[in-house]
Structure 1
Amino acid sequence: MVLVGIAGTWLSWRYFVDTAAGQRLDQSAFSGSAFGRNTLWRGAEPVLDVVSVPFVVLVLGAAAVIAVMRRRWFLPLQVAVLVGGANITTQLLKHVVLDRPTLDGGAGVTPNSLPSGHTTVAASVAAALLLVVPRGARPAVAVLGAGYAALTGVSTMIGGWHRPSDVVAAFTVVLAWAGLTTVLTALSSPERATAARPGATGTKVAAVFFTLAAVASGTVAASALLRTRDQLGSVGPLTERSDLVPAYVGAAFGVVAAASVTFVAVLIAHQAATQHRTVDVEAPPRPQPVG
């Protein structure tokens, strides 16, 4: 997971930011977000307003309380590593490490905006809650968290705050740090559970749901990307609504695919790590009859 997350972040920047063809694709989807913005923004703005310092503090506090109630003393450290590491990484990549070159035929002189900070916050706090809740609740938290993070990412596109590659890169940053916390989970104190392994059925159902969502949305996104690429190659920069809106819609489906892949990976990896460390509670010995 760590290597996949790192590779995904670098590839997002390398193609969509560091090449003229990638910039044109990304910019076409970004330009398409202007259509219908006034209407869609009424729903997107409240979603983005949730992402704030008090929100992060509240979620981290809730995660710490859940960890203490479960007597999992190492979990608050894992949450801090995940949320802090992912968000610091995003800010460093955006403002220090990565740049956005001005390329011939690209989108012009604009500052680098990859990865998306709002999406990183949303995805990292959702993944943090997935880490701390009991095993049986994790599938539901994963589905809800993925939905919230994807909605936040799409909302940044609706508002014209971020390009699609920025949002996808935010998910890959969170994936990398979630992979690291999974290693910490495997090394931490074991959970105590019965041999029934609660959450096994829910995990399978969630995995199927995420897989179907990733395949379906990824197919739509890839189709839109290829269509836009071909149009750019044949007619040059796109200006018509009929060309830009499909690129934008396809990019939104790409965000859904990225969220699905990220959260199914975190769910399965964390369930496997905690299962590996689970201590079964043995039944007390049956008393022997006297005489």
Structure 2
Amino acid sequence: MTDQTLPLPDHREESSTNYAGPRIPRRRPRPAPRITAVVVAALALWAVWLTWDTFVASPLGQRADQLALEGAARGQNTLWELAEPVLGVVSNSFIGLGLAAAVILALARGRWWLAVQVAILVGGSNLTTQVLKHAVLDRPALLDVPRADINTLPSGHTTVAASIAVGLLIAVPRRWRPVVAVAGAAYTAATGVSTLIGQWHRPSDVVAAILVVLAWGAGVCALSSPSSLDAPQDGPQRGTSGAAALLLLGAAGTGALAVGALGSVRGDGWGLPLGGDLTAYMGGMLGVVAVTLGAFALLLLVRQSTARP
């Protein structure tokens, strides 16, 4: 009699359980790539200070930077025809349109936190540049030249160009990042070199701006959330290693030439048969290209690693 009083199984509950299926653990960002991103950001900030300390706070550094500025007068009429349109693109409208494009792209992919990361990157980079230039860093008048005490480090135009390029690098899908990294590096380098051609900035100003964006770009990658991760089927892309290797190889080559030119300006190293201002100018251009290529290679690797599911 007692067996007949046992409750019958609830088939509705069983079918409901079978329909829902087992719970799948939510993907979370891996800690190691995020720690690496923090280290890259910290080193980039330190490099900003080192750039200022070497080329602004010391007489020898100021001399090399000033020679590069004066060397830009050579051939400027011809080069400015190429540089002026590049600099003309950079404006408040450009910032708004570039930021909107990156944010909309992230939202279209259903990545709301990724859109926030892009906004933090662009806003933080440009605000940092203005604060450093006008409120934190100074320029001691160590040389007898006009406006010797007016600080111009970091470059605002270069910061705008680099931050928009890195914002797009962060927002696009995984397979497109190598292409965007190479294109963004080329555009940023062109903008930075154009400010040298127009004698708007010295090489150290441009280098510091790129390093500011590198710090913010790596920093926001360290803030990755599940919304920032790639889809599970997006595994490693062969294009990533190829693009990173190309950028790093270019950085090593131009960097070696820039160091040689700097040594020549200081009176040691190469004995180039060129005037000191032209050597410094060419070395400054090469240094800008080297730092730009290296920064975008790092950002590509950091973004891909922090976004890997």
Structures share a fold, TM > 0.5?
yes
Aligned to 1:256: 289
1:190 to 229, 235, 242: 229
- 8 Å contact kept, 2:154–2:205: yes
Please list every run of at least 4 consecutive aligned residues from structure 1 whose deviation after the TM superposition is greater than 3 angstroms: 104-108, 186-190
Alignment deviations for residues 153-191 of structure 1 (CA, whole Å, 9 cap, x no partner): 000000000000000000110011011111112564533
| Correspondences of 1:38-57 after superposition (within 5 Å) | 38-57=77-96
Alignment deviations for residues 85-132 of structure 1 (CA, whole Å, 9 cap, x no partner): 010000001011111001267876340000000000000100000000
TM-score (structure 1 length as normaliser): 0.88
Distance between the aligned counterparts of 1:66 and 1:33, measured in 2?
39
Verify: 1:82 aligned to 2:121, yes or no: yes
Identity %: 49
2:175 to 126, 129, 136: 136
Distance between the aligned counterparts of 2:294 and 2:255, measured in 1?
10
- 8 Å contact kept, 1:9–1:169: yes
Paired residue type of 1:210: L
Larger Rg: 2
Ranges in structure 2 where 5+ consecutive residues have no aligned partner: 1-39
Q: CA deviation at 1:136?
A: 0.2
Distance between the aligned counterparts of 2:147 and 2:167, measured in 1?
37
Alignment deviations for residues 12-54 of structure 1 (CA, whole Å, 9 cap, x no partner): 1111000111100111111111101111001100000100111
- 8 Å contact kept, 1:32–1:241: no
Aligned to 1:265: 298
Aligned to 2:252: 215
Aligned to 1:289: none
Paired residue type of 1:127: V
TM-score (structure 2 length as normaliser): 0.83
Aligned to 1:6: 45
Distance 1:40 1:189, change over 3 A: closer
Distance between the aligned counterparts of 2:89 and 2:52, measured in 1?
27
SS of 1:197's equivalent?
coil
| Correspondences of 1:174-185 after superposition (within 5 Å) | 174-185=213-224
Ranges in structure 1 where 5+ consecutive residues have no aligned partner: 232-239, 279-291
SS of 2:138's equivalent?
coil
Paired residue type of 2:289: V
